[in-house]
Amino acid sequence: MRIIAGTKRGMHLQCPRTQDTRPITDRVKESLFNILHNYGLLADQRVADLFSGVGSLGLEALSREAAFVTFVEQDPKIAACLEKNVARAGFVAQSRVIRANAFRCGAPPDAGGLRHDLVFVDPPYALSRETGVGSLLAQLFDVLAGQVADKGVVVVRTEEGVPLPDVYGPFRAIDRRHWGSMSIVLYQVHGDGE
pLDDT of res. 194: 42
| pLDDT tens digits, one per residue of 85-140 | 999 999 999 999 999 999 999 998 877 788 999 999 999 888 888 877 788 999 99
pTM surpassing 0.85? Answer: yes
| pLDDT tens digits, one per residue of 20-66 | 667 788 999 999 999 999 999 999 999 999 999 999 999 999 999 99
Residue 185 belongs to some domain of the structure: yes
Residue 149 belongs to some domain of the structure: yes
DSSP annotation string for the chain: -B--SSTTTTPBPP--S-SS--PPPHHHHHHHHHHHHHTT-STT-EEEEET-TT-HHHHHHHHTT-SEEEEE---HHHHHHHHHHHHHHT-GGGEEEE-S-HHHH-S---TT-PPEEEEEE---GGGSS--STTSHHHHHHHHHTTTEEEEEEEEEEEETT----SEETTEEEEEEEEETTEEEEEEEE--TT-
Residue 172 belongs to some domain of the structure: yes
Owning domain of residue 96: 44-189
Total number of domains in the chain: 1
* CATH number of 79's domain: 3.40.50.150
Residue 27 belongs to some domain of the structure: no
Residue 95 belongs to some domain of the structure: yes
